[in-house]
Amino acid sequence: MSHFALSRRSALALMAGAATFGLTGRIAHAAGEIKVLNWQGYGTDEKWALEMFEKKTGIKVVHDYFNSEQEMLTKLRTSPGTYDVVLMNNIYVMEAAHEGLVQALDTSKFSNFNDLTPALRDSDRFVMDGKHFAISWVWGLTSFAYNTKKIAVRPDSMEALWDPAHAGKVGWRDDALESIQIAALATGQDMNAPADIEKIKDKLKALKTQIKTFWSSEDEWNKYMAAGDYDIAVYWSGSAARSKKAMKLPVEFVVPKEGAIGWFDGLTIAAKAPNPEGAAAFINFMVDPEFYVKWDNDIGAPASANAKANAQLPADALNRTVLGDPEVVKRVQWMAPISDEQKQKNQELWDEVKTSFAR
Amino acid sequence: MERAAKTYLGLILIFLYLPIVVMIAMAFNRSPLYEMPFTFDLVWFKALAYNQRLLQASWNSIWIACINAVTATTLGTLAAYAFARYEFRAKRLLQILLFPPITIPWLIIGTSMLIFFFWTGIGRGLHAILLGHVALSLPYVIVVVGARFANFGPQLEEAAASLGATPWQSFWRITVPVLLPGITAAALFAFAVSFDQFVISYFLAPPGTSTLPVEIYTSIRKGFTPEINAISSIIILFSMGLMLIVARNYKFGGDN
Amino acid sequence: MAFTRHTRTVLALTAPAYLWLTATVLLPLAAMFYFSFLTASPLGGKEVRFTLQHYADFFTKEIYWYNAWRSVELGLYVTAICLIVGYPAALGLAKYVKGRWREAIFLLIILPFWSNALVRTFSWTMVLREPFNILFSYPAIVIGLVHAYLPYAILTCYISLQAIDDSLIEAGRSLGATPAQTFRRITLPLSLPGVLAAIFLIFVPVIGSFMEPRILGGKDAIMLGPIIEGQFITAFNWPLGAALSFTMLGMVLLVLLVVMPFLNRQMARA
């Protein structure tokens, strides 16, 4: 993990930040305002929630978005003192903590802290030297979802994506890491350290006749599914819940017998946050059942790290029936941090596979 | 022959307008996922009125495109004039130097501008986007105006000079009016280049500031509703009206 | 001053445009070129060394050179189709359609510039789906790009065609030339500057395109443009991205060097 001494290379870091189009928010912080950095449409920017939060605390919430985790890190590096609350996938929290981008948290400020699932809350991805650097917020799975109107029998295997019956009707995300991990699961390997890369490559190349087209966002996934381009497609559990509820698409998320990719996200407070008190209040609100239950019920959300919140969901909610099932959780492989070198190798492998598609 | 030409052009127009008609039609379709059957609804136009980001981005785009058109056309016409009417040693070199902005894909220009603007402290923002757009438009303007120059020898200007006009007078009184169709075409070209330019704006837009194409790209990646169709429909209808007004005042397409 | 009045005038006329181009294009490219020889982005305080590895990668790794060829091929297809379809349209408009009809059609041809390219590309996903069923394929990419660049071809060809004096053509006819002969000997050579401009305006952006392949191409989307974009946006390997960019630039120049002398010869003959 790279170490940062900001003074020495501020110019270069700025440039790099520029590349990710993040940064230099010349944003003045009004009293009683916090700035949140997150994916767009990922819970923290729900309009009704912000109104609810403002009514409770008088704090106004402003958003900025990132399109990739690298962009999020670079925004933090190049715009210290801009952001208060930052959403982070667990695999990036320690990197950010080492670089001094996020601050150690006083857990007593979070009244919901004790209700959080300990396995997530106290994960070594969030805790360093006994100090928490992120509050566990939500978690979810990546596997696939299918159109119940097109596929009558619920598939229970990853092999469904390779099933000739769905040739030309499979949706796939154009993402190197995710593709490799799914192929690793399908070939029975450890997705964080696959032993047989060639096997993964061949498995992915076999998708040539299967894939209709790639999707890159939840919105695109919905549109392709609605248009009938996909019968079955790689997807995220929280998004599947939203597609079903908010978009009313006839889709079901599946955790196949080979397992699924697990991820969990935390909410952090930036090192030089202008309003750390407000940030803590907002994070506490985000993990509160009051917000979460409405989010999952009305919009669709990943599973909450707050056990109490999950317990308040309706009995048929995906987050209770599927993600709440201990048998399912046993099959999950959790995503591990990844080096820059490995990223480059993954990208080349995936580009090679895509080139074979186009031949 | 005229009939055949019109038929062929008609077919081309159908091809050019097919997706635009579909785009406009979908602005009136209720489904947020562009689903059929078509259900007429004005909901996306109403939503647009409250979409502050999209409106602000559109406004930015219009302003930048206008300033770009004026700046690029002025600078470009001056350079084209020098090329057409003066002989000088560096001419060949200067002409070759016009090539980078058109011979280098925008992706490369955009990222390199970003690096450089950051180094020099120019930074990002609407001003940086404008700097980039003018650079992109300049070669187009010089080519288009230059093509017009190629059709007119210096005889008219020489005649003016022999009648006692200063170079400046003959430039404004003779050259500019003769060039006007070319200049108008170049300005419209520059406007369009800027208004539609996405790649460079994307790299030079800081958070919270964007142009319409950047905003649309963000939407495509993160959530795309027919509001995008609604605003595009408004813009194309607006510009159609604008073009008709311009066309009433100028003879278009270089008729003389 | 040593400058003559003539030199001063030329300077005054060209300096504004060229200072602008230098500051916004040439210097940034120099910075980018420097990057393409570094082992890593100077991000994160890593040790940065000089290397030729990225250029070596281009020639040794199939994913790069093969997809570079795919980009060039796409550029050739789209440019050729735009000219084959656009040139007759420009000719018809310039020589056979007159008056208000010409004005109206001309306007209609350049109007699509005003609708956003991203939205138009997206609209094609609706058109190509139902009756044609060729969405997410190579032809879909070609159609989307031809649609985007056809107006450029018509516009540039039209500008040079309508500048041709009709009396030249009349003269050719009165000397007994067939219409085909007058076209080949007079009209075509005189309109070549427009054709050349069209080649520039179409080939270059198409070779670097990545949005249209992404939206319309499905599995056939991969080419050098999307790969370079990925190096900058996703993989964050700037030096490799810069090296691939400069290689693409080399290909553009190579193709234009092949085309240019041919066109120059044609123009010289005219």
Is A24 close to B34, i.e. CB distance below 8 A? no
Angstrom CA distances, C6 to A28, A346, B252, C18, stand at 53, 60, 34, 18
Band of residue C138 on the pLDDT scale cut at 50, 70, 90: very high
Nearest to B255 by CA among C153, C94, C171: C94
Mutate to test the interface with C, among B7, B12, B151 (most CBs of C within 10 A): B12
CA–CA separation, C60 vs C49, rounded Å? 21
Dump the DSSP string for C89-142. Answer: HHHIIIII--HHHHHHHHHHHHGGGGS-HHHHHHHHHHHTTTTT---SSHHHHH
Q: Is residue A6 over pLDDT 50?
A: no
Q: A71 and A22 in contact (C-beta within 8 Å)?
A: yes
Q: At what angle do helices C62-91 and A340-358 cross, to 10 degrees?
A: 50
DSSP state of A162: G
Is C110 close to B79, i.e. CB distance below 8 A? no
In 10 A of CB A58, how many CB atoms?
Answer: 11
Query: What is the residue type of B232?
Result: S
Q: Is residue C70 over pLDDT 50?
A: yes
| Cα nearest neighbour of C196 on chain B | B143
Is C17 close to B239, i.e. CB distance below 8 A? no
* Cβ-based contacts of B224 with chain C (< 8 Å): 122
Q: Which is it for strands A135-147 and A170-173: parallel, antiparallel or unpaired? A: unpaired
Model-level ipTM above the cut of 0.90: no
Q: B117 and B124 in contact (C-beta within 8 Å)?
A: yes
Is A247 close to B124, i.e. CB distance below 8 A? no
Band of residue B254 on the pLDDT scale cut at 50, 70, 90: very low
In 10 A of CB A116, how many CB atoms?
Answer: 22
In 10 A of CB A309, how many CB atoms?
Answer: 25
H/E segment holding residue B139: helix B126-149
Nearest to A70 by CA among C243, C31, C44, B224: C44
Q: Is residue C128 over pLDDT 70?
A: yes
pLDDT given for residue B248 in this prediction? 63
Q: At what angle do helices B52-85 and B176-196 cross, to 10 degrees?
A: 140
| Cα nearest neighbour of C68 on chain A | A355
Return all residues near B228 (Cβ < 8 A) that are at least 6 apart.
Answer: B54, B216, B219, C119
Q: Is residue B253 over pLDDT 70?
A: no
Q: Is residue A74 over pLDDT 80?
A: no
Identify each DSSP E strand in A70-110 by its residue range.
85-89
pLDDT given for residue C46 in this prediction? 60
Identify each DSSP E strand in chain B by its residue range.
none
pLDDT given for residue A233 in this prediction? 97
pLDDT given for residue A232 in this prediction? 97
Return all residues near A186 (Cβ < 8 A) that are at least 6 apart.
Answer: A158, A159, A161, A162, A203, A258
Q: Which of A120-129, A181-190, B222-231, C194-203 has the lowest mean pLDDT?
A: B222-231
Query: What is the residue type of A106?
Result: D
Q: At what angle do helices B126-149 and B176-196 cross, to 10 degrees?
A: 140
Check CB contact of A217 with chain B, cutoff 8 Å. Answer: yes
Nearest to A220 by CA among C51, C171, B221, C87: B221
pLDDT tens digit sequence for C139-169: 999 999 999 999 989 989 998 898 888 888 8
Span C22-35, average pLDDT = 90
Nearest CB among B203, B222, B223 relative to A21 is that of B203
Give the residue ranges of DSSP H helices in chain C.
5-21, 27-35, 53-60, 62-91, 99-110, 117-127, 138-162, 166-174, 179-182, 188-207, 211-216, 224-233, 238-269
Span C33-48, average pLDDT = 74
Span B139-149, average pLDDT = 84
CA–CA separation, C102 vs A352, rounded Å? 50
pTM: 0.80
Q: Is residue A19 over pLDDT 60?
A: no
**Average pLDDT value over all residues in chain A:** 86
CA–CA separation, B243 vs B140, rounded Å? 20
Strand-pairing partners, residue A139, are A264, A303
State the Rg of chain B over Cα: 22
pLDDT tens digit sequence for A119-128: 889 999 999 9
Residue C189 in tokens? 């050579």
Q: Is residue A205 over pLDDT 50?
A: yes
**Average pLDDT value over all residues in chain C:** 85
Q: Is residue B5 over pLDDT 60?
A: yes
Q: C252 and B103 in contact (C-beta within 8 Å)?
A: yes
Q: Is residue A291 over pLDDT 90?
A: yes
Residue C219 in tokens? 């599995």
H/E segment holding residue A63: strand A60-65
Check CB contact of C73 with chain A, cutoff 8 Å. Answer: no
Nearest to A97 by CA among A137, A64, A62, A124: A124
Nearest to A235 by CA among A307, A128, A158, A150: A158
Q: Which is it for strands A131-132 and A127-128: parallel, antiparallel or unpaired? A: antiparallel
* Cβ-based contacts of B218 with chain A (< 8 Å): 40, 65, 67
Span C167-187, average pLDDT = 86
pLDDT given for residue B249 in this prediction? 57
Contacts with A, B 80-139, CB within 8 Å: 111, 114-115, 117-119, 123-124
Span A245-251, average pLDDT = 91
Return all residues near C161 (Cβ < 8 A) that are at least 6 apart.
Answer: C90, C91, C94, C95, C187, C191, C194
Query: What is the residue type of B61?
Result: S
H/E segment holding residue A269: strand A260-269
Span A243-264, average pLDDT = 93
> How far, rounded to the nearest angstrom, does the alpha carbon of residue C105 sit from its chain's CA centroid?
24
Nearest to A264 by CA among A86, A70, A90: A90
Cis omega (within 30 of 0) for bond into B101: no
H/E segment holding residue B251: none
Is A18 close to B207, i.e. CB distance below 8 A? no
**Is the alpha carbon torsion for A97, A100, A106, A111 positive or negative?**
negative
Q: Is residue B252 over pLDDT 90?
A: no
Check CB contact of B207 with chain A, cutoff 8 Å. Answer: yes
Percent of chain A with pLDDT over 90: 59
User: Which one has a higher pLDDT value, C105 or B160?
Assistant: C105
Q: Which of C2-11, C48-57, C221-230 has the lowest mean pLDDT?
A: C2-11
| Cα nearest neighbour of B4 on chain C | C92
Residue B40 phi/psi, 5-degree rounding, is -65, 135
CA–CA separation, C260 vs C196, rounded Å? 8
pLDDT given for residue A208 in this prediction? 95
Q: Is residue B255 over pLDDT 50?
A: no
Angstrom CA distances, A257 to A222, B24, C170, stand at 25, 46, 80
User: Which one has a higher pLDDT value, C218 or B69?
Assistant: B69
Is C107 close to B188, i.e. CB distance below 8 A? no
CA–CA separation, C136 vs C83, rounded Å? 24
> How far, rounded to the nearest angstrom, does the alpha carbon of residue B92 sit from its chain's CA centroid?
27
pLDDT given for residue A156 in this prediction? 94
Is C235 close to A343, i.e. CB distance below 8 A? yes
Highest mean pLDDT (candidates A280-294, B144-158, C106-120) = A280-294
Q: Is residue A292 over pLDDT 50?
A: yes
Q: A237 and A323 in contact (C-beta within 8 Å)?
A: yes
User: For B34-73, b where at least 16 C-beta lie within 10 A, e where not — what string?
Assistant: beeeeeeeebbbeebeebeebebbbebbbebbeebbebbb
Q: At what angle do helices C53-60 and C62-91 cross, to 10 degrees?
A: 70
Band of residue A21 on the pLDDT scale cut at 50, 70, 90: very low
User: Which one has a higher pLDDT value, B158 or B119?
Assistant: B158
Percent of chain C with pLDDT over 70: 91
CA distance to partner chain C, nearest, from residue A271 (Å)? 18
Q: C187 and C96 in contact (C-beta within 8 Å)?
A: no
First CA to last CA across chain C, in angstroms? 43
Highest mean pLDDT (candidates A81-85, C8-12, C169-173) = A81-85
pLDDT given for residue B94 in this prediction? 84
Residue C169 in tokens? 């053509």
Q: A71 and A83 in contact (C-beta within 8 Å)?
A: no
> How far, rounded to the nearest angstrom, does the alpha carbon of residue B254 sit from its chain's CA centroid?
19
Q: Which of A11-20, A276-285, C148-157, C209-218 has the lowest mean pLDDT?
A: A11-20
Question: A197 in the Ramachandran plot: left (φ > 0), alpha (ψ -120 to 50) or beta?
Answer: alpha
pLDDT given for residue A32 in this prediction? 86
User: Which one has a higher pLDDT value, A342 or A164?
Assistant: A164
Q: Is residue C236 over pLDDT 70?
A: no
Q: Is residue C263 over pLDDT 80?
A: no
CA–CA separation, C137 vs B135, rounded Å? 34
pLDDT given for residue C120 in this prediction? 82
CA distance to partner chain B, nearest, from residue A216 (Å)? 7
> How far, rounded to the nearest angstrom, does the alpha carbon of residue A178 sit from its chain's CA centroid?
12
Residue C204 in tokens? 């270059």
DSSP state of B205: P
Check CB contact of A224 with chain B, cutoff 8 Å. Answer: no
Span A81-101, average pLDDT = 91
Dump the DSSP string for B69-124. Answer: HHHHHHHHHHHHHHHHH---TTHHHHHHHTHHHHHS-HHHHHHHHHHHHHHHT--S
pLDDT given for residue B222 in this prediction? 64
pLDDT tens digit sequence for A94-104: 989 988 999 99
pLDDT given for residue A261 in this prediction? 95
CA–CA separation, C196 vs A181, rounded Å? 48
User: Which one has a higher pLDDT value, A226 or A323?
Assistant: A226
